[in-house]
Amino acid sequence: MDDRSPEEFLTDLQERADEMTRQSQQLQDQLGSMAETASDGGISVTVGANGALQDLQIDQRAMQRGPTELRTTILRLAGEAQANVAHQVVQAVEPFTGSTGMEFLRTQLPAEPQAPDQDPADDPGTDDEPPQSFLR
């Protein structure tokens, strides 16, 4: 049995609620400022914590590529940036969730990005579609 008075119990409960609110706001701020950029040969793609495209830069040398190569590179970079930011989100959220919540979140993540020396065209399982956002 708890030896605290009702007032002490309510004070402790309020302090825990205030701490949870503070942590939640801190996490929201952290996620709101989170972004990831992937670049290759004059193309730069930036996505936010939710995987949405925030910026796309294409310089003159990238314009020398044909439309198919340009499209493929943009989609690949977007996928890489989305996967990288998704893993950053997991690291930020992990301290606030239980193991069940983290396991669910991990199942929603895009695949780990390929190493830079691998050509995605060599992978028969690679398609031209970017991964879907891990947040629903």
107 vs 134: CA distance, rounded Å: 9
Alpha helices in 50-93 (DSSP H): 60-63, 67-93
pLDDT at residue 111, rounded to an integer? 65
pLDDT one-digit tens code per residue, 2-27:
788 999 999 999 999 999 899 888 88
| Distances from the Cα of 19 to the Cα of 27, 58, 83, angstroms | 12, 44, 31
Residue of 41 and 111 predicted with greater confidence: 41
pLDDT one-digit tens code per residue, 73-86:
999 999 999 999 98
Q: Is the per-residue pLDDT at 28 higher than 80?
A: yes
Q: What is the pTM of this model?
A: 0.64
| Average confidence (pLDDT) over 27-49 | 92
Domains of the chain, with CATH numbers? 34-114 (3.30.1310)
pLDDT at residue 77, rounded to an integer? 96
